[in-house]
Amino acid sequence: MFESAEIGHKLKKSEYEREEPKLRQALLAAQFELLEKKKFPVVVLVNGVDGAGKGETVNLFNEWMDPRHIHTFAFGPANEIERARPPMWRYWQALPPKGKIGILFGSWYTDPILDRVMGHAKRAEFDAQLSRLRDFERMLAAEGALILKLWFHLSKKAQKKRLKTLSADPKTAWRVTPDDWAHFKHYDEFVSVCEHALRETSTGEAPWHVIEGSDAEYRSLTAGKLLSTSLRARLAGKAQPLSPAAPPPAPPIDARDVLTALDYTQKLKPATYDRKLDKAQGKLNLLTRDRKMRERSIVMVFEGMDAAGKGSTIRRITRALDARFYRIVPVAAPTEEERAQPYLWRFWRHIPPRGRAAIFDRSWYGRVLVERVENFCAEADWQRAYHEINEFEEQLAETGGIVVKFWLATTPQEQLRRFKEREKIAHKRFKITDEDWRNRKKWPLYKQAVADMVERTSTAEAPWHLIAADDKKFARVAVIETLCKALEKSFDR
């Protein structure tokens, strides 16, 4: 795959000096059109062989364009904060919003490649990581991002010469680290692993562009023209087509589903409720203070129809917890800042580190529920979201996250009773809005969306727990007991 990047591509300095001003003008014009329209973000990945000119290219991009509208990130080994969360967390924080250009110097490919070359990951593990990265980039593209992946290459001989030249000059010696020389000793392994990685992840929506890095003029002009051409084509409306996601299963012909199968008659008497709640809260408190919790995090998800009791259930959970241990994340309509990013971005930013918990009052499942029913996104978007959500939750679980998801289910009759009660009680009246009544009319559509959601996203790593919540007392105790069982199961692994 790298043969054409080892043949000695060169450009005359006079030609470079003639073309460079034109390129700078074109890049600036495209950048300001991107900024004005704010239709999509640009993600530029800069990867490749040590000494092939990656850093110089990043500096040039910032020099040729307005750096105020470029987000540049250089990724090295993960720090303590990053290691306490899933590996992709730090890259989600670096994604540029619509209208901006993000340059990622080193990227989500660096660690998997290094792990494979150094023997820390087997071939099957490596292939699984590449598959996940393909899915991630496909999601970014589907959310509108322009992805430009640049790989800067040098032959083994050229890399050795380049590293020696940089090391010999006091002004540039700092750029060559012991790691660079250590990696050079594994050059052949790197080339083999990188070829495989590039072949497996060069897709229609995010292809790799391999650039020979031995000649500065050729390297710089090639990279700049690739960015300019890609940006101009996308501004003209030419997006890469995406293959459709698999549709959800057809509704069962007997109209029976996971919600109608619940027993809504389950109730607890006040005295029994008080006793069971106190016992469950005490157990939860002990579990969250267990030493094993230091290597775990908890992500609780609460979904349900309006007036299902999510808020009151969450309050019963937090009464059992140290206030320093958890954070409640109430989810409403996305803000302007959040709409400028892929839909999962606003949830990645709230992922807790090990030893902490996040409680989501509504969540990323809005994409396959309210956004689906209300046509806030295209059908293709909510259909692909099932797989994207499963990938997201799988990453949380792989790094010690305990993902516990609750759907609090009520009958239409009980919801109507609660709505009317809220209208009568002054301190509850703020909870009922015209939108709640409007949503109620779409109960059948939401019911089908919930059934599809459970069918497609209840996984071994993050199963759904459907709780019959017509009796709030029963639901609260059932939720806390289920949460305790999830923690115990995780601690036993």
* CATH fold label, 3-235: Rossmann fold (3.40.50)
Domain with CATH 3.40.50.300 in the chain: 3-235, 270-491
CA distance 6 to 191: 12
User: Which long-range CB contacts under 8 A does 334-343 form with residues at least 24 apart?
Assistant: 337/97, 340/38, 340/41, 340/97, 340/98, 340/99, 341/41, 341/95, 341/97, 341/98, 342/95, 342/139, 342/140, 342/143, 342/145, 343/143, 343/367, 343/385
Ramachandran quadrant class, 307 (left: phi over 0; alpha: psi -120 to 50; beta: rest): left
Three-state DSSP state, 360: strand
CA distances in angstroms from 245 to 113, 450, 456, listed in the order given: 29, 18, 12
CA-closest candidate to residue 422, choices 258, 309, 337, 313: 309
Give the mean pLDDT per block of 10 residues along the chain (493 residues): 86 95 97 97 95 93 97 94 96 97 95 93 96 96 96 90 88 84 87 94 94 94 97 87 73 85 96 98 97 96 95 97 96 95 97 97 97 95 96 96 98 94 81 85 94 95 97 98 97 86
With contact defined as beta carbons under 8 Å apart, do 148 and 96 qualify? no
Q: How many residues does the chain have?
A: 493
Angle (nearest 5°) at CA 135 between 130 and 139: 145
Produce one character per residue of 292-319: b if its CB has 16 or more CB atoms within 10 Å, e if not.
ebeebbbbbbbbbbbbbbbeebbebbee
Three-state DSSP state, 105: strand
pLDDT, position 240: 67
CA distance 374 to 444: 13
Residues facing 153 on adjacent strands: 212
With contact defined as beta carbons under 8 Å apart, do 183 and 23 qualify? no
**If you ran DSSP here, which 8-state letter would residue 96 be given?**
P
| Residue 399 φ then ψ, to 5° | -110, 30
Reading the block at residue 206, the tokens are 């995010």
CA-closest candidate to residue 64, choices 27, 30, 101: 27
List the strands of the sheet with 464-468, edge to edge: 326-330, 357-361, 297-304, 401-409, 464-468
* Radius of gyration over every alpha carbon of the chain, rounded to an integer in angstroms: 27
Three-state DSSP state, 461: coil
Produce one character per residue of 58-82: b if its CB has 16 or more CB atoms within 10 Å, e if not.
bebbeebbeeeebbbbebeeeeeeb
CA distance 96 to 70: 8
Angle (nearest 5°) at CA 429 between 426 and 430: 125
Ramachandran quadrant class, 119 (left: phi over 0; alpha: psi -120 to 50; beta: rest): left
CA distance 165 to 176: 10
DSSP-derived secondary structure for 190-256: HHHHHHHHHHHH--SSS-EEEEE-SSHHHHHHHHHHHHHHHHHHHHTT-PPP-PPPPPPPPPPTT--
pLDDT, position 141: 95
**If you ran DSSP here, which 8-state letter would residue 5 be given?**
G
DSSP-derived secondary structure for 113-157: HHHHHTTSS-HHHHHHHHHHHHHHHHHHHHTT-EEEEEEEE--HH
CATH number assigned to the domain covering 270-491 = 3.40.50.300
| Residue 213 φ then ψ, to 5° | -105, 10
Neighbours of 394 (CB within 10 A): 17
pLDDT, position 183: 83
Residues 6+ apart with CB under 8 A from 281: 316, 319, 320, 480
